[in-house]
Structure formats: structure tokens, C-alpha cells
Amino acid sequence: MLLTIALGLWGIRRKNTMWGDESVTYQLAHRDLSQIWLTAQHVDLVHALHYAVMHEIFGLFGAGLLTLRLPSVLAMSAAASAVGLLGLRLAGPRVGLLAGLVFPLLPQVQKYTQEGRSYAMVCALVAWATYALVVGVTRHARWRWAVYGCTTLLACLLHEFAVLALVAHGVTLVVSRVPRPVLRAWGVAAAGVVAGLLPLAIRSAEQSAQVSWIDVPVRLPEFLAAAVVGVACALAPVAARGPVRLPVLAVPIIVLPCLLLLIASLVKPLFVDRYVLYSNIGIALLVGAGMDHFHQMRKSSRNAAVAGVAAVAVLAALVLTGLWLRTPQSRSNDVTAIGATVRKESRPGDGLLYLSGQHRIWTAANPEDTRFLRDLALAQDPVSSNTLAGIELPAQDIAARMLEFDRIVAVRAAGAHSPTNPQEEAKTSTLRRHFREYGTTHVNGARVTVYVRDHDPSPKAGPGSNSPGVSGGVR
């Protein structure tokens, strides 16, 4: 637990940068609870509970990067303690200690320990629900299963795919051949979780367009590499200390959530590694058990030397991975850098254009970056419209407003094309016909481009431009 907190605090600010999803949390947590609820009716219903929790945390401790990320650090430390207790109960104190120490070192765990999103909280709740499951098998009591059910339901309400852990738990109990009263108690708890989750699942299914950006499984190879290491460790014998054996608990929680998401992805791509972050619980348990087995099997100084060299190599790799994860480049975008670039490349009175409009969230976390610019496509701001990115004008109005400006600063995702709709077509066609690209700055995840009107004969150099700047402004 202390190791997880230490690693979580190490470089937690990431050079004062923030990535897009964290920016959404930051912005939504600033709205009051009624606004969060109204926004969730249109978008991000699956994360509404997390936004409400963060709203209350911001209200108590103030908003900022530390306040945004510290709940994840504390949540993951709670998950690490549960992993240690699971190892202790299932295989003894040494396995518990090793598993608990391995867990915070796993790259995926290190990454999301410092994320201002719900995934660390979900992982902690699933870990403690798993511990409640193991205790409930040996100490059968209704209140224990009620705790199990409530903890699992809370995890599912924070993120729906936590329900896949419920499937893994069921398989564990069946394979372990637990008594029928225990299986029946789990079934009642599981039914309660599904019933409690069902309204959210039905409503959020109407917002499935939100995950349309997933076209292939995201970071599947990295996840599979860690999972293969964990499952390989399941081959090592582990002394059973109860009706549930450690491999029988750990392997399903590694394999089944991932497998079920991949099967679902045959119909609609859904796999993202953070959606099954809690699978690292099983990986840590199996790696801890494997390390304990190797320790017991050492019979020569040669084996000890090989083990020492391997341990140093693994530790070095984990340190290098940890260093990289604490840099802005470790995330898919950096909204702090994007906003700062817009501010640097623009002049007061310039037009501002987002290609597409959903990228408006990138600069909303710090309104000072765009304070003196005019958003050319915006009809209603995100807060008053109860949306994430606001409501845009009709296509013809956007084109007409663009033609009132001699300079436009455009923000677009790096290497991405704008979605096809009338508003986006109006933006790109008007830029192509009436403006010329004058300078582009590449930042992590985005491009910021200055456009000038073709009729402007003598542009002046703008700050940070790659060529002479541009004169002009609002006409």
C-alpha cells in the first residue's frame, strides 16, 4: 500500500500536463450536480457517478491537478492492499507480500494510478469485491454477500465493464465446486448487481456513438504480454489454503473480461486496455505466486545468480517504463500543450476553429488560452447546453462567420480526418477556397494551424510561426 502511494506521488503532475479524458473530468467536476445529471442525459452517462464524486472532492479540497489525480492514487493503494490480502488468504504471507509489491509495479497500474478518471476506483472496488468473495466462501453469512454485491455494483456504476469481473467470479466458484448454499448466495448477489446496473446499461447504450473512435482493440498487445506472463506463472504449483485456489481465482479474472470484450468487438469494437484494468489483480497474484515458487525451488548458487540477474533486468525495465509513463508523451494527447500553443500562435481578435467541434474540450480546461479569440462555429457553450463540446451553428452560418476574419487558428487531431457532417464540410471547404495555410505547429496529439485570407498581400510574422507572420484581425 505504501509502495503504491509512493509510486503514485512520484511525478504525479507530469510536468503540469493533462490529457483529453482527464480534461473532461476536470471540466465536468466544475459543474454542479444538476448540470452533471443533465449533461449525462446526452453524453458520458457511463461516467456520471465519477463526475459527481469528483465534484464533491473539488468542493472539499479545491480543483487542481493534484486533487484530480490523488483519488486514483489512494484508490490504487487500496487495490494493492486487497491484492496482498488475497495472496495471504489464498497462498500464505510470502505470496501475499510478493503479489502486493508486484501489483503497483505493473506498467498499466502505474499509468492509471496517476489518471484523473474512474479506472483506479473501479480496480479497487473489484479487488475488494474479490476479497469479499473469497471470505464469503469460507465464512458464509448474508451480510458478507451483501457487502460483495454492493461493492461490485458500485464498481459497475463507475464503469459498466466491471460487470465482466462478475462472470470471472462465477466461473471461479463453479470450478472450485463450492457448496450449493454458497453458489446460491453468490447468484442472489450477482442478480442484484445485474438488476441495479440494468437501467444504466440500457440508457448508456443509446450513447454508444461515444465509443465510435474505437476501430481496433486499443493497446491489446501490451495487455496480452502482461497477461501471458501472469498465466504462465499459473503453471507453478501453489499450496491451497482453502476451497478457492489462487490460480482458479486469478486466471478467470485475467482471461474472461478480456476474452468477452474481444468477442463483443467482433460486432462492435470495444476493447480498450483500461476497461479491464482490474485484470492486473490476477496478474499480480500469479506473478507473486510464481516468484514464491521459484524462491522455494532454488537449489544452487547458479540458480540464485540467474534469478538475481533476471530480477535486476526486470527492475530496470520497470524503472524505465515508470520514467516514460511520467512524461507528457506517454499519453495520446496533451491538452495543456495544445492550449498553450493556441495562445502562442494567435493574436487577440483572431478566429478560432475546431476540426472537429468535439476537440473544443481540449482548450476548455484553461479558458485563458482562448480568452481573446472568437470561436467561429459555436452557437451555445458547453455548460449552458449541457454538453461536452457545445452546440455548433448551421453550416452556412459557420462559413459566413469565417469570411469575416483575415486570420483563423485551427485545431485538429494529429493524423485524423474530421467527421463527415455539414458543419465540418463547411469549415474545410471555406478554408480551402478562401484561406491559405501559413504555419502549423505540431504538439502531442494535435496540430495547430494558422490560416490567412488569400487577399492579404503583406502578412506579418505571428509568434512561433514557421514563416513570416500575418496581419489582419476582425474586419
pLDDT in tens, 300-320: 555 666 666 766 777 788 888
What pTM does this model have? 0.90
> Secondary structure of the chain in the HEC alphabet?
CHHHHHHHHCCCCCCCCCCHHHHHHHHHHCCCHHHHHHHHCCCCHHHHHHHHHHHHHHHHHCCCHHHHHHHHHHHHHHHHHHHHHHHHHHHCHHHHHHHHHHHHHCHHHHHHHCCCCCHHHHHHHHHHHHHHHHHHHHCCCHHHHHHHHHHHHHHHHHCHHHHHHHHHHHHHHHHHCCCHHHHHHHHHHHHHHHHHHHHHHHHHHCCHHHHCCCCCCECHHHHHHHHHHHHHHCCCCCCCCCCCCHHHHHHHHHHHHHHHHHHHCCCCCCCEHHHHHHHHHHHHHHHHHHHHHHHHHCCCHHHHHHHHHHHHHHHHHHHHHHHHHCCHHHCCCCHHHHHHHHHHHCCCCCEEEEECHHHHHHHHCCHHHHCCCEECCEEECHHHHCCCCCEECCHHHHHHHHCCECEEEEEEECCCCCCCCHHHHHHHHHHHHHEEEEEEEEECCEEEEEEEECCCCCCCCCCCCCCCCCCCCEC
The Cα-based distances of 350 to 59, 122, 406, 450 in angstroms read 35, 43, 8, 10
What's the CA gap between 148 and 274, in Å, rounded? 23
- Average pLDDT for the chain: 89
Would the CA dihedral through 384, 389, 395, 401 be positive or negative? Answer: positive
At 111-169, the pLDDT tens digits run 999 999 999 999 999 999 999 999 999 888 899 999 999 999 999 999 999 999 999 99
Residue 50 contacts residue 121 (beta carbons within 8 Å)? yes
Task: Copy the grid coordinates of residue 82.
Answer: 486487497
Reported as a pLDDT band with limits 50, 70 and 90, residue 471 is: very low
Whole-angstrom Cα distance, residue 415 to residue 176?
50
Tell me what pLDDT residue 4 has. 96
pLDDT recorded at residue 355: 92
pLDDT of residue 195: 97
Predicted local distance difference test score (pLDDT) of residue 455: 65
- For the segment 414-426, the average pLDDT, to the nearest whole number, is 81
- What percent of the chain shows pLDDT beyond 90? 74
40 has pLDDT over 90: yes
Q: What does DSSP say about strands 351-355 and 446-453: parallel, antiparallel, or unpaired?
A: unpaired
Per-residue pLDDT, 248:
93
Per-residue b/e over 129-167, b at no fewer than 16 CB within 10 Å?
bbbbbbbbbeeeeeebbbbbbbbbbbbbbbbbbbbbbbb
pLDDT at 360 over 50: yes
Mean pLDDT of 188-192: 97
| pLDDT at 303 (0 to 100) | 61
Confidence of residue 259 (pLDDT cuts 50, 70, 90): very high
pLDDT (tens digit, 9 = 90+) per residue, 377-395? 999 999 999 999 999 999 9
Calpha distance 338→335 (Å, rounded) = 5
At residue 90, the pLDDT reads: 94
Q: Say yes or no to pLDDT of 262 above 80.
A: yes
Asked if the bond preceding 208 is cis, omega within 30° of 0, the reply is no
Confidence band (pLDDT; 50, 70, 90) for 430? very high
* pLDDT of res. 467: 37
Do 122 and 152 meet the contact criterion of CB atoms below 8 Å apart? no
d(CA 100, CA 81): 7
Sheet with 374-375: strands ordered across: 374-375, 351-355, 407-413, 446-453, 435-443
Q: For residues 105 and 231, what is the distance between their CA atoms, to the nearest angstrom? A: 17
Q: What is the pLDDT of residues 76-112, one digit of tens each?
A: 999 999 999 999 999 999 999 999 999 999 999 999 9
Report, as an integer, the average pLDDT of 172-199: 95
- Residues 327, 15 contacting (CB under 8 angstroms): yes
pLDDT confidence of residue 233? 78
Residue type, 348: P
Q: What is the pLDDT of residues 192-233, one digit of tens each?
A: 999 999 999 999 988 888 887 787 787 888 888 888 887 887
Mean pLDDT computed over 259-286: 92
